[in-house]
Amino acid sequence: MKRRNIIKALGAATVAGTLAACKPEDNKCEKAQPQDSKTYDWKMVTAWPKNFPALGTGANFLAETITTLSGGRITIKVYGGGELVPPLEVFDAVSNGTAQMGHAGSYYWKGKVPEAQFFGAVPFGMNAQEMNAWLYHGGGLDLWTELYSAFNLVPFPVGQTGVQMGGWFNKEIKTVADIQGLVMRIPGLGGDVLKRAGGSPKLLPGSELFTSLQTGNIDATEWVGPYNDLAFGLYQAAKYYYYPGWHEPTACLEGIVNKEAYNELPDDLQQIVKIACMAANQNMLSDFTAKNKTALDTLLSEHKVQLRQYPSEVLEEFKHHAHDVFNELGNSSEMGNKIYQSYKSFAEQTKSWLDISEKSYFKAR
């Protein structure tokens, strides 16, 4: 119900903005062009289980918002991971036109587009607030668009998780030695860091995490945070729950649109897609922030999960390798270097401000 109310409010705001821009005294109303009546039926493929909290429902929110703001001129059918295409084939499906839109995470495509990982999650990198600032006002989204253009895709940020948890483990992590040989589901740059620290990363879709952990196919897994982890029942397969999520200070989810399908839209519908993606981006972050603490309380009190903080020596080991991984990706290609320099300089600029604003405030309160 809350989601529908938000979508209706967005629709009302769009109509109000249109009317406000149409002023009788300057005859703009008379000059306005009639609305294009052509309709567009799109498919959205996702990397998430159908209707999964925050991620799957975030895809639903985006589809519903686009349909509402467009007055039904764009309708979107959402497919959960595996319904139309496998979860880790979203990128190719949208690129080749099997679906007009996708909802996933850019670090899933590291084997195809290594530079895309900058737009997903960087270990010990920028948080959600900083990422949004870089993407919308620091040139990040322009670079993302340039990167994906060669793949017939137009990208948009459509969700932030905020700082994640460090993961579920079937043994305690007390020293760096406990990382040696550890088989863990962890994607993207975080997986590269784990490997250099002596672990063995695996990339698995969310739907396979519980079984893989329960059967011993993996020793540990990260997913997102308490809200999502509770829904997957991961507490039944592992007992130790670690923080902080050094590997994903946020995960920026991507909404990718087939470029040909996007260019076919008239200007007003393109703008609606952009605004709907911005709304979905903020809505998901709010959803996680509102529900993670309640879910964590349930995990600790009802399911007796053992909450643990990563030892400082382990975090320092990860940070050392993260620096190298980050630099190497930034120097792996000309495009990678462009993105790397932009990301790095923006992160350095915002850090000095956040130190005297957010960080000092948290200490004070």
Mean of all residue pLDDT scores within the chain: 92
pLDDT bucket at 19, cuts 50 / 70 / 90: very low
Cα gap 158→274, rounded to integer Å: 10
**First-last CA distance in the chain:** 34
Burial class (CB in 10 A: 0-12, 13-18, 19+), 22: middle
Cα gap 287→280, rounded to integer Å: 10
Rounding to the nearest 10 degrees, give the CA dihedral for residues 345, 350, 353, 355: -100
Tell me if 315 sits within 8 A of 124, measured CB to CB: no
Q: Which of 27-41, 175-189, 267-281 has the lowest mean pLDDT?
A: 27-41
Predicted pLDDT at 4? 54
Q: Given a cut of 50, is residue 65 above it in pLDDT?
A: yes
Q: Given a cut of 90, is residue 25 above it in pLDDT?
A: no
Q: Which CATH architecture has domain 167-247+293-331?
A: 3-Layer(aba) Sandwich (3.40)
Q: What is the pTM of this model?
A: 0.89
The tens digit of pLDDT for each residue in 194-205 reads 999 999 999 999
Cα gap 52→60, rounded to integer Å: 10
Cα gap 5→150, rounded to integer Å: 38
Q: Given a cut of 60, is residue 290 above it in pLDDT?
A: yes
Q: Given a cut of 70, is residue 22 above it in pLDDT?
A: no
The CATH number fitting domain 2-14+38-159+250-290, selected from 3.40.190.170, 3.40.50.2000, 2.30.30.100, 1.20.1250.20: 3.40.190.170
Predicted pLDDT at 37? 85
Cα gap 70→269, rounded to integer Å: 7
- Contacts with 301 (C-beta within 8 Å, 6 or more apart), sequence order: none
Same CATH fold assignment for domains 2-14+38-159+250-290 and 167-247+293-331:
yes
**Short-list 121, 55, 65, 123, CA closest to 90:** 55
The tens digit of pLDDT for each residue in 118-152 reads 999 999 999 999 999 999 999 999 999 999 999 99
Query: How large is the greatest C-alpha to C-alpha distance in the chain, in angstroms?
Result: 75
Q: Given a cut of 50, is residue 3 above it in pLDDT?
A: yes
The ranges assigned to domains in the chain are: 2-14+38-159+250-290, 167-247+293-331
Is the dihedral angle over the CA atoms 272, 274, 280, 285 positive or is it negative?
A: negative
Q: What is the 3-state secondary structure (H, E, C) of the chain?
A: CHHHHHHHHHHHHHHHHHHHHCCHHHCHHHHCCCCCCCCEEEEEEECCCCCCCCHHHHHHHHHHHHHHHCCCCEEEEEECCCCCCCHHHHHHHHHCCCCCEEEEEHHHHCCCCHHHHHHCCCCCCCCHHHHHHHHHHCCHHHHHHHHHHCCCEEEEEEEECCCCCCEEECCCCCCHHHHCCCEEECCHHHHHHHHHCCCEEECCCHHHHHHHHHHCCCCEECCCCHHHHHHHCHHHCCCEEEECCCCCCCCEEEEEEEHHHHHHCCHHHHHHHHHHHHHHHHHHHHHHHHHHHHHHHHHHHCCCCEEEECCHHHHHHHHHHHHHHHHHHHCCCHHHHHHHHHHHHHHHHHHHHHHHHHHHHHHHC
Predicted pLDDT at 362? 94
The tens digit of pLDDT for each residue in 194-238 reads 999 999 999 999 999 999 999 999 999 999 999 999 999 999 999
- Contacts with 111 (C-beta within 8 Å, 6 or more apart), sequence order: none
CA 286 to chain centre: 13
